[in-house]
Amino acid sequence: MSRIGKKPIPVPSGVTVDVSGQQVKAKGPKGELAFVANELVSVAFENNEITVTPVNDSKPARSMWGMSRTRIANMIDGVANEFTRSLELVGVGYRAQMKGSSLSLALGYSHDIDYPAPEGVKIATPKPTEIVVSGIDKQKVGQAAAEIRAFRPPEPYKGKGVKYADEYIFRKEGKKK
């Protein structure tokens, strides 16, 4: 039994949910999202709660159960409040700034890196060494943050690079004489 899948998803006030077959649409103050559930699970909406149940007791159906419930819960949470991911730039001369709708990064390379913001994702730079990625789709926000981090991942000796704000870098000791 899926512990996550068993939990019903409460729908907060201000969010309207439409369930028709496998299609789930959520509309809230931040935007609108849709999700098509796998045919191995059934989705029901009653008493202002969404419940996801597997069609049968097969391993694939039970695998899709928790995943579908989590995707729907993230969708509802995203249209009610946005998801954000913060990144920090650590290193001398490392900086970020917005140029129109694209992010310009100076990360110690011989050229600046221009990263266009994906559709549905907002990127802001409150400080030159801080990047805030936000949006209603959790997957797109996480993917955009991971792509920005991948330009210069943090290294273990001095900790230089692009890191998540809540990330801890395991440090290594340098060479000894």
What pLDDT, on the 0 to 100 scale, is given for residue 32? 92
What's the one-letter identity of residue 12?
P
Confidence check: pLDDT of 1 > 80: no
Q: Which residue, chain included where needed, has tokens 């201000």?
A: 14
β-strand pairing of 113-116 with 23-27 = unpaired
Measured CA to CA, the distance from residue 161 to residue 147 in angstroms comes to: 13
Measured CA to CA, the distance from residue 107 to residue 116 in angstroms comes to: 16
Residue 24: its H or E element: strand 23-27
Q: Domains plus CATH for the chain?
A: 3-80 (3.90.930.12), 83-164 (3.90.930.12)
Measured CA to CA, the distance from residue 129 to residue 97 in angstroms comes to: 9
pLDDT tens-digit readout, 85-109: 999 999 999 999 999 999 999 999 9
pTM: 0.88
What pLDDT, on the 0 to 100 scale, is given for residue 2? 67
